[in-house]
Amino acid sequence: MKVTKETAKAFIAGDKKAIEEVYTAYHDLLYFVIFSYTKTKEDADDAYEETFLRLLNNKDAIKEPKALQSYLLLTAKSVAIDIAKKNSKMEYLFSIEEEASPSSEPLDSLLPYTLSKEDKEIIGLRLVFSFSWNEISAILSKPISTLKKQYREALNEIKEELK
């Protein structure tokens, strides 16, 4: 999932092989983050491509190779939110109502439908992708203490559902 420091440096320098490696290495993680906002494969694919276009256009802004992952995640989240907002406005304008099926999100088949989107995202980032609390805090722009509380409450809710 993560790339080496050398690969990140090569990416920032514009090496084509490194660009391909980064593109492939972060696919699952970015797709998870993006899909949790966009809810459709087409929008997620568009957001994934847009994330990398923005990254390539602004790669000079990344001063430290270790910041590549954070930059990618924050960009992916921003792009996904933009697309989700655009889609919700279009749905409102055209009065299109579509109900999302319970299986439309990656973790829905495993997690109770009563959990919020953010709770599912926290659980996914922590358990599926093994992110540290600092990394999750940076991605979601929330204090670690708040995230840990939400995480515990979500796990307790899951336990209750399983009884």
What's the CA gap between 41 and 34, in Å, rounded? 10
The CATH classification of domain 101-163, taken from the options 1.25.40, 2.60.120, 3.30.70, 1.10.10: 1.10.10
On whether the CB atoms of residues 127 and 151 are closer than 8 A, the answer is no
Going by C-alpha positions, the residue among 121, 39, 137, 141 that lies closest to residue 85 is 39
Which tokens in the block code for residue 25? 């290495």
Mean of the pLDDT values across residues 49-55?
92
Determine the residue type at 45.
D
Q: What is the per-residue pLDDT across 76-105, written as a single tens digit (0 to 9) for each?
A: 988 998 888 777 654 544 433 343 333 344
Which tens digit of pLDDT belongs to each residue from 22-42?
Answer: 999 999 999 988 988 888 888
Residue ranges, comma separated, of all CATH 1.10.10 domains in the chain are 101-163
Q: How far is the C-alpha of 128 from the C-alpha of 57, rounded, in Å?
A: 30
Residues carrying CATH 1.10.1740.10, the chain: 1-98
What single-letter amino acid sits at 113? Y
Q: Taking the mean position of all CA atoms in its chain, how far away is CA 116?
A: 15
pLDDT attached to residue 107: 54
pLDDT 10s digits, 103-159: 344 555 566 667 888 888 888 888 877 888 988 888 888 999 999 999 999 888 888
- Within the chain, where are the H helices? 5-13, 16-25, 27-38, 41-57, 68-94, 117-123, 133-140, 144-162
> Does residue 72 carry a pLDDT above 60?
yes
Q: Is the pLDDT at 65 greater than 80, yes or no?
A: yes
Q: What's 105's DSSP letter?
A: S
Q: Alpha-carbon distance 163 to 159, whole Å?
A: 7
DSSP one-letter string for 36-74: HHH-SHHHHHHHHHHHHHHHHHTGGG--SGGGHHHHHHH
Query: Is 1.10.1740.10 the CATH number for 1-98?
Result: yes
